[in-house]
Chain A
Amino acid sequence: MDPSEVEFVAEKEMVTVIPNFSLDRIYLIGSATCRTNVPHMYRSADGYLCVQGDLGPFNPGLPVNVPVWLALNLKQRQKCRIVPPEWMDVEKLEEIREQERKEDMFTPMPSPHYMELTKLLLNHASDNIPRADEIRTLVKDIWDTRVAKLRLSADSFVTQQEAHAKLDNLTLMEINTSRMFLLESLNCMYKLRTNLQHHGGTAKGQEY
């Protein structure tokens, strides 16, 4: 998978924006397999029956939840102001970083696409996000720690010749970066192991 494809998947996440225009509710094709907590159809606070693909209504100055792809588009046309997600805050990220460094396992991340969202929001909306550079550095530190843990666990996986491993709380981008290498080396290891089966223990006939 390409990192750009992972970024495309990440753009489905919801973010809060404050528009400066007004527009009635727009009806887009919604997906029932969206990973938000909102059910497919629900009754909103003002009593309207909403379907998941619906967005809006947009009123100037009032915050509204939209997907990231729409938020970036509106921002580029200077029609909104992006509100940073609550985890994109220096103190919070420092806490997360310390916790990640202490634990041996992977800690749950505030968003399953934290890396992509950081890059997208900081590139397009850094004026709306306070202390953007520090946030960038902190997220990079968290990323480096997690990737190092991933490599360690891959190494122990191969060295002990385990049959399968379980890794919780990994995000798609991290998996994607190490996918090709890990798959190829595990394939090679598997084939070298089947050599053993032919000649290691008892002599078997050829398996097909």
Chain B
Amino acid sequence: METQSYTPVPPGVGMEENFLSLDDILLSQERLPCQTETCFLRLGFVEKSSETPDIAEGTKMELPLWLAKGLYERKRRVLSVELPKVYRDGWRTVFGADPNVVDLHKMGPYYYGLGSQLLHFENPENSEIAQTVLRTFIGRFRRTMDSSQNVLNEDTSVLVERLDCLEKALFRAGQSGLNSFQCWEMGRASHLTASSLVLNYRKRKIAEVQE
């Protein structure tokens, strides 16, 4: 069994993010195209391409998700968020046709996470986005399952490179189940091996110290 020096917090898939999850923290760094609805006084220096001291109304900017979520408020109309390319109608048709062809890692490694977070911003296409995200997951499930359960001791990088981060976590779970079964079947489970924690500390063995 693999032991880790801490218990990693899993990402909150869906509309809630887990505060302590590293995957969610990295997800919130993804940029969204936004348009300001009011004037941001004396913040012109933040945006490098503007010469005015204020950010005028209607400027298009790319803001990270954490900033957009914080500033977004329906009543005060501070910000309006547009959909990134991958979630728009054109790409939605592609996903509907065949989700397996798409390289989800290139399309933003957090396709499912970002798709769920976009639902926070009131947008008329939200229900279609939610449907597409769900259908893409279901469509790609078979391939992820087959590839994770059938590969043994081979280089998995070709299979993994087209997967989104969520699917990569599932792939690893499948692989670990398979590997521990194979290890048991070959009798290696009863061999004592050094724990990964101890190896990570890089304790010097006695023979090395004495030399």
| Contact with B180, one of A2, A184, A192, A196 (Cβ below 8 angstroms) | A2
Residue contact A195 to B14, C-beta cutoff 8 Å? yes
| Contact with B138, one of A4, A161, A177 (Cβ below 8 angstroms) | A161
Residue contact A180 to B173, C-beta cutoff 8 Å? yes
Known: A123-B187, A154-B145, A184-B169. A192 touches B137 (CB 8 A): yes
Known: A178-B177, A188-B13, A188-B166. A195 touches B130 (CB 8 A): yes
CB distance from B197 to the nearest CB of A (A): 18
Residue contact A158 to B141, C-beta cutoff 8 Å? yes
CB distance from A159 to the nearest CB of B (A): 6
* Chain B residues positioned under 8 Å from A173 (CB to CB): 181
Residue contact A199 to B141, C-beta cutoff 8 Å? no
Known: A180-B173, A196-B134, A200-B127. A188 touches B181 (CB 8 A): no
Q: Does A73 contact B (CB under 8 A)?
A: no
* Chain A residues positioned under 8 Å from B154 (CB to CB): none
Interface size on B, residues (CB 8 A): 40
| Residues of chain B in range 121-155 having any CB-CB distance to chain A below 8 Å | 126-127, 129-131, 133-134, 137-138, 141-142, 144-146, 148-149
* Chain B residues positioned under 8 Å from A123 (CB to CB): 187
Known: A191-B14, A195-B134. A184 touches B170 (CB 8 A): yes
Q: Does B95 contact A (CB under 8 A)?
A: no
Residue contact B127 to A196, C-beta cutoff 8 Å? yes
Prevailing SS type, chain A contact patch: helix
Using a Cβ cutoff of 8 Å, how many contacts connect chains A and B?
105
Q: Does B190 contact A (CB under 8 A)?
A: yes
Q: How far is the CA of A173 from the CA of B181 in the complex (A)?
A: 9
| Residues of chain A in range 1-21 having any CB-CB distance to chain B below 8 Å | 2-4, 7
* Chain A residues positioned under 8 Å from B127 (CB to CB): 196, 199-201
Q: Does A151 contact B (CB under 8 A)?
A: yes
Most buried by A among B126, B170, B181: B181
Most buried by A among B13, B173, B184: B184
CB distance from B159 to the nearest CB of A (A): 14
| Residues of chain B in range 99-120 having any CB-CB distance to chain A below 8 Å | 112, 116, 119
19 contacting pairs across A/B (C-beta < 8 A)? A2-B180, A2-B184, A155-B142, A159-B138, A159-B141, A177-B177, A177-B181, A180-B174, A181-B145, A185-B141, A185-B145, A185-B170, A188-B112, A192-B14, A194-B15, A195-B119, A198-B119, A199-B129, A201-B127
Given pairs A3-B180, A184-B169, A195-B133, 14 additional interface contacts (CB within 8 A): A4-B190, A151-B145, A155-B145, A179-B177, A181-B170, A184-B170, A185-B145, A189-B134, A189-B141, A191-B116, A192-B13, A193-B134, A195-B130, A198-B130
By a beta-carbon cutoff of 8 Å, the part of chain B in contact with chain A is 1, 12-15, 112, 116, 119, 126-127, 129-131, 133-134, 137-138, 141-142, 144-146, 148-149, 166, 169-170, 173-174, 176-178, 180-181, 183-185, 187, 189-190
By a beta-carbon cutoff of 8 Å, the part of chain A in contact with chain B is 2-4, 7, 119, 123, 147, 151, 154-155, 158-159, 161, 173, 176-181, 184-185, 187-189, 191-196, 198-201
